[in-house]
Amino acid sequence: MQLSAGAVPEHWTIDRKAPAVTLPAPSAGQVAASQGVQEATTGNWWLQARNGTYQGQTCGTNRVDMVTGWGPMNLTLTQSRAISSQWSSSVSVDAGKVSATVGFSVTDTATNTESGQWAVPDGKFGTLEAYPLFDHFTFDVYDTSVGDRYVGGGDAYHPVGYCYNHWAN
């Protein structure tokens, strides 16, 4: 699991309630179905997304919620939010092909409802924050118009829960 840059690992808690994503098995049928999606949405159906690989979990960098208070007390943070899947590619490949490769819709959102708790020490002012938790996948892009040549790659992130960060001053 990967935390945001500068994060202190012992201050983070991971809450994942979503089932693990499994990648689709590559087959000739999937490639043909994926090509059909590409033809319907863009003019370049030669580009293919392939080799979806699960890289692990990563915490997002955009805070979705926060609570604070003086100890001794328990801070509780409950949120139910729609978080968008995210993806990027070094070449302009169709989202439908990327979705077929990584096993989830890269243009969809997922709503996760979760709670985090942390006991603030006596006499300290505590903070509890929530960030989205993503399953991270990478993929390769090939151009089949020039002999099935590798032309780039990308990353896709599927929201599966929340990361909680806490500290006291």
Residue-range domain boundaries for the chain: 9-168
Write down the architecture of domain 9-168 according to CATH.
Beta Complex (2.170)
Q: Which of 8-22, 24-38, 111-125 has the highest mean pLDDT?
A: 111-125
Classify the C-alpha dihedral 61-63-68-72 as positive or negative. Answer: negative
Report pLDDT digits (tens) over 138-152: 999 999 998 889 999
Kindly report the number of other CB atoms within 10 A of residue 67's CB atom: 16
Cβ-proximal residues to 36 (8 Å cutoff; 6+ apart), any chain: none
The CA-to-CA distance between both ends of the chain, in Å, stands at 27
Q: Average pLDDT, whole number, for the chain?
A: 84
Report pLDDT digits (tens) over 63-76: 999 999 999 999 99
Give residue 123's identity as a one-letter amino acid code.
G
Does 20 score more than 90 pLDDT?
Answer: no
Residue with tokens 């099935």: 148
Distance CA 72, CA 13 (A): 20
Q: SS3 for 7?
A: coil
Q: Which residue has better confidence, 31 or 56?
A: 56
Residue 17: pLDDT band (50, 70, 90) is low
The confidence score (pLDDT) of residue 9 equals 65
Across the range 132-141, mean pLDDT stands at: 97
Residue whose C-alpha is closest to residue 83's, from 131, 41, 127, 45: 131
The confidence score (pLDDT) of residue 22 equals 63
Distance CA 20, CA 55 (A): 13
Residue whose C-alpha is closest to residue 89's, from 43, 151, 158, 155: 155
Residue 144 DSSP class: G
Kindly report the number of other CB atoms within 10 A of residue 36's CB atom: 11
Distance CA 38, CA 142 (A): 14
The confidence score (pLDDT) of residue 53 equals 97
Cβ-proximal residues to 163 (8 Å cutoff; 6+ apart), any chain: 3, 12, 13, 14, 15, 59, 60, 130, 131, 132, 133
The confidence score (pLDDT) of residue 25 equals 57
Across the range 48-70, mean pLDDT stands at: 95
Distance CA 49, CA 140 (A): 6
